[in-house]
Amino acid sequence: MKALVSYLQEHYCVDTPGDITWAHAVNSKARLRRFLDDPQIMMIESDICTSARGQPVAAHPPLRESDLTFEDLLQAMESSRQGLKLDFKDPAALVPCLKMLRMAALSRPVLLNADILQGNRAWPSRFRATDFIAICQELYPEGILSIGWTTHSDPHFSYTARNVDAMLAVCRGVSQVTFPVRACLLPASWPQLTRLIQQDDYSLTIWNGEPLSEDLQAWLRQHTDPARTMYDLIDGQQNPIRL
């Protein structure tokens, strides 16, 4: 994450990846207006899928419609100094969006995210893992890969050794990756997940889709290293949480 942190150091008070602040699920024009150029927000995260009309939009399935198109998002980001994370939900959106992204030539870090592998007792990924990586590297090689697993919110279905082995296998030869991992699954998965960050430029991005208890927040503060971890955490109203 050296390139990401280096960029944000120029514009914000950032020493480690753990200092980075996020706006999660920026999938509407109203939410984009709220967070764009907010001095407390350094990274904008949007979910990307294809609408019923075949247009790439910022929406999280099962929703497929949004007043924020991918083109609108890119145009808005041109006037911002914030970084951008694109969470691809639909394989059909990947190539068109990467081509538009390349044409936009944004002068800030862009994370390219997808759940490319099936997690423990979770649904199959919609992506072919090797294809996602190859397409991203071909069409937008300056992007930072952010690749993870489909997951359940049940902490009993933690990440397994097999999950980690499969991810390390598809990342062989990839020099810079951050792995998005679900907060509620971390305590039971920690011995396995630490294997993901043994390579220097590999990191974790911890996210949550369900309430983050005080006990879990304390666990994250105690066990994770801000030098190797980003925290994309939200409260019940999708407002950012700082550990």
What are the sequence ranges of the domains in the chain? 2-20+85-232
Phi, psi for residue 203 in degrees, rounded to 5: -145, 175
Asked if residue 26 has pLDDT above 80, the reply is yes
30-64 pLDDT, tens digit per residue, is 999 999 979 999 999 999 999 999 999 999 999 99
- Region of 169 please: left (phi>0), alpha (psi -120 to 50) or beta: alpha
pTM value?
0.97
Assign 238 a pLDDT band (cuts: 50, 70, 90): confident
Average pLDDT over every residue of 101-130:
96
What's the gap between Cα 199 and its chain centre?
19
Comparison of pLDDT for 6 and 44, the residue scoring more: 44
**In this structure, are residues 229 and 204 in contact, taking their beta carbons and an 8 Å threshold?**
yes
166-203 pLDDT, tens digit per residue, is 999 999 999 899 999 999 999 999 999 999 999 989 99
Asked if residue 1 has pLDDT above 80, the reply is no
**In this structure, are residues 208 and 182 in contact, taking their beta carbons and an 8 Å threshold?**
yes
Average pLDDT, the chain: 95
β-strand pairing of 22-23 with 43-50 = parallel
> Which CATH entry fits the domain spanning 2-20+85-232: 3.90.25, 3.40.225, 3.40.50, 3.20.20?
3.20.20
